[in-house]
Amino acid sequence: MAKHKRPSASNRKKPSVRIVRPSGRPFQLRSFCPVEKREIRVSTGDRDEDEAERLKSELEAKLLLGLDTKSGKVKMTGPEMDWSDFREQYRTLHLATVRESTATDAESRLDIAERILKPKTLADVANSTSLQQLQARLLAGEQSLRGVPRSPHTVKGYMGCILGALNWANLQDWLPSPPKLRKIKTSKLKTMKGRPINKQEFIAMTEAAKEVVGDDAAESWKYVLRGLWESALRINELMSVSWDKPGTIRPRWKDGTHPVLAIPAAMQKNNTDDEIPLLPGFAALLLETPAEHRTGWVFDPKSLQTKFGRRVRHQRPDSDWVSKVISRIGTAANIVVEAAVEKSGRRVKYASAHDLRRSCCEQMREAGVPPLIICRVMRHSSWETTRKHYAPGDVQRDAEVLDSMLKPKPENPPKDA
Task: Give 232: exposed, middle or buried? Use CB within 10 Å, 0-12, 13-18, 19+.
Answer: buried
- The pLDDT of residue 212 is 94
Short-list 167, 16, 194, 22, CA closest to 90:
167
- Per the domain annotation, does 23 fall within a domain? yes
- Looking at the structure, tell me whether residues 231 and 106 fall in a common domain: no
The H or E element containing residue 238 is helix 235-238
- Looking at the structure, tell me whether residues 145 and 294 fall in a common domain: no
- Per the domain annotation, does 265 fall within a domain? yes
CB 338, CB 351: distance < 8 Å: no
As a whole number of angstroms, the distance between CA 60 and CA 168 comes to: 37
Task: Give 367: exposed, middle or buried? Use CB within 10 Å, 0-12, 13-18, 19+.
Answer: exposed
- The pLDDT of residue 114 is 94
- The pLDDT of residue 375 is 87
As a whole number of angstroms, the distance between CA 288 and CA 279 comes to: 15
- Looking at the structure, tell me whether residues 52 and 96 fall in a common domain: no
- Per the domain annotation, does 416 fall within a domain? no
Number of folded domains in the chain?
3
- Looking at the structure, tell me whether residues 234 and 330 fall in a common domain: yes
CB 329, CB 225: distance < 8 Å: yes
> Which positions of the chain have pLDDT values less than 70?
1-14, 23-25, 35-38, 45-46, 66-76, 186-192, 342-346, 383-417
- Per the domain annotation, does 113 fall within a domain? yes
| β pairing state of 250-252 and 38-43 | unpaired
- The pLDDT of residue 102 is 86
- The pLDDT of residue 208 is 95
Query: How far is C-alpha 28 from the chain's CA centre?
Result: 26
- Per the domain annotation, does 372 fall within a domain? yes
| β pairing state of 28-33 and 17-20 | antiparallel
- For residue range 306-317, list pLDDT tens digits in order: 777 777 777 788
- The pLDDT of residue 1 is 45
- The pLDDT of residue 2 is 47
Q: Which residues are CB-contacts of 263 (< 8 A; sequence separation ≥ 6)?
A: 237, 249, 273, 274, 275, 276, 379
Q: How many CA atoms lie within 13 A of 333 on its CB side?
A: 25
Residue 363: which CATH number? 1.10.443.10
As a whole number of angstroms, the distance between CA 158 and CA 415 comes to: 71
- Per the domain annotation, does 260 fall within a domain? yes
Range of the domain at 31: 17-65
- The pLDDT of residue 322 is 94
**Which parts of 74-151 fold into alpha helices (H)?**
83-93, 100-117, 128-139
- Looking at the structure, tell me whether residues 136 and 44 fall in a common domain: no
- Per the domain annotation, does 351 fall within a domain? yes
- Looking at the structure, tell me whether residues 227 and 350 fall in a common domain: yes
The H or E element containing residue 274 is strand 274-277
